[in-house]
Amino acid sequence: MDLLEYKGKQVLARHDVPQDPGGVATTVDDAVEIARGVGFPTILKAQVKIGGRGKAGGIKVANSLDEVREHATNILGMDIRGHTVRELWLQRASEIELEYYAAVVFDRSAKAPLVMLSTQGGMEIEQVAAEHPEALATLHVDPLVGFQPFQARRLAYEAGVDEDVIRPVGAMLATLYAAFVAEDATLVEINPLVVTPKREVVALDAKVTLDDNAMFRHPDNAGLDDSSEADPQEAMARQRGLTYVKLDGDIGIFGNGAGLVMSTLDVVAHAGGAPANFLDAGGGAKAEAIAASVEVILSNPNVKAVLFNVFGGITRCDEVARGIIDAYEILQPTVPFVVRLDGTNDVEARKLLADANLPHVYPETTMDGAAARVVELARSTEGAPAP
């Protein structure tokens, strides 16, 4: 789960990470009220989960309530690379003397947390690594031992941190590491980490990603999830406990097992089509769950045809066939279905489908053949009048 900046700040505040106070607004009037409280100059920051907010005009400084009103009006509702701004973070604009960068990353390849510190903050870390490698220090932490004070010193000296702030920068790193572990985070990134003219070290930004699998340990964090408002199909799928990701194309995909579904997307693309979604019905899916999945797929108005690609292991193909038949009868779809069922009870499944004799349901025996068929059907319904 990726958190919006202000929610990341909330999580880090629990661990006493030094940050400036502020507030979040969803309306222009709220923004003005918060600005009145924090004072001027006030910085307004669009809350979206994508980089490049500043360049897109999503971050502005205001020196009066009128300017707050003007900027808030412009930013709220703004589209930043496909993300609509619904919330604004406002705080007193910090006095900045230096911009550093700090992060703790879950490094899958090394099987260890990676701590990074740079004296070139405020730009993308990939750019720092390419252009100023001498200003970036990194090290891996043994998760069984934890982050040690000497490691903080090593990073600070290697990155070239000003001598007088080595102690507070080290303390910041230790705090970020503690938050990373305590919150089951996979990313804690502060960019920029600023040094003020009073030589205080403050986290100006917060990018935090939490591990969904660890939510049972953090019931408080469940409320930080705002993905439900993102997309109607994804919200519907979530309610039904399905693994669904919306994509840009027009071919609905139903499959079992993440790898097989990913492969199905690729094979459809290979055949010249564009998938409308990823949907993994999981192992052992029963007829009702299958009907529920089909409803989610069809609720996307872009879908022109649906491909069912199932290899039955624990999942029984006859259950899948029953689910498809149920869904068909309830939903009366106007788009064609291509069905390829292989594996456990596939013979019964094919017989069930044949006996049901549903219009616009096309059985296929191979994955490649099914992909070619569904692409052809999606094309042939293009330009057809809406039902």
Partner 1 sequence: MSILVGEDTRLAVAGLTGREGSYHAMNNRRYGTNVVAGITPGKGGQDVEGVPVFNTFRQAVAETQANTAMVFVPPRFAADSILEAEDAGIATIIAITEGIPAHDELIVFNVLKCNPDVRLVGPNCPGVLSPGKANVGIIPAAFFKPGNVGVVSRSGTLTYQIGNELAQSGFGNSTIVGIGGDPVPGSSFVDIIALFEADPETELIVMSGEIGGSAEEEAAEYIAEHVSKPVVGYVAGLTAPPGKTMGHAGAIVSGSSGGGQAKIDALEAVGVRVGRTPTQVAEIAVEILRG
Binding site for partner 1 (CB under 8 A): 106, 108-109, 111-113, 126, 142-144, 181, 184, 186, 211-214, 216-217, 243, 245, 247, 255-263, 265-267, 269-270, 275, 278, 280, 283, 311-314, 342-344, 366-368
CA angle 211, 44, 121 (to 5 degrees): 60
Q: Which is nearer to partner 1, 16 or 368 (CB)?
A: 368
Please give the backbone phi and psi of residue 111, each rounded to the nearest 5 degrees, phi first.
Answer: 55, 45
Q: Which is nearer to partner 1, 47 or 256 (CB)?
A: 256
Contact 281/319 with Cβ under 8 angstroms? no
100 is catalytic: no
Contact 383/280 with Cβ under 8 angstroms? no
Q: Which is nearer to partner 1, 227 or 334 (CB)?
A: 227
Whole-Å CA distances, 262 to 49, 106, 123, 358, 362:
24, 24, 34, 28, 22
158 is catalytic: no
Contact 90/43 with Cβ under 8 angstroms? yes
Q: Which is nearer to partner 1, 40 or 311 (CB)?
A: 311
CB of 93 to partner 1, least distance (A): 29
CB of 340 to partner 1, least distance (A): 11
- What is the rounded distance in angstroms from the CA atom of residue 56 to the CA atom of residue 351? 56
CB of 380 to partner 1, least distance (A): 22
Whole-Å CA distances, 160 to 95, 124, 336:
21, 18, 63
CB of 350 to partner 1, least distance (A): 16
CB of 378 to partner 1, least distance (A): 16
- What is the rounded distance in angstroms from the CA atom of residue 374 to the CA atom of residue 380? 10
Helix axes 149-159, 166-182, angle to 10 degrees: 120
User: Which is the catalytic residue, given 5, 6, 100, 101?
Assistant: 101
User: Which is the catalytic residue, given 183, 189, 319, 364?
Assistant: 189
Contact 200/223 with Cβ under 8 angstroms? no
Q: Which is nearer to partner 1, 5 or 280 (CB)?
A: 280
Q: Could you identify the residue written with the tokens 């408002």?
A: 229
CB of 85 to partner 1, least distance (A): 18
Contact 321/341 with Cβ under 8 angstroms? yes
Q: Which is nearer to partner 1, 366 or 380 (CB)?
A: 366
Residues annotated as catalytic are: 101, 189
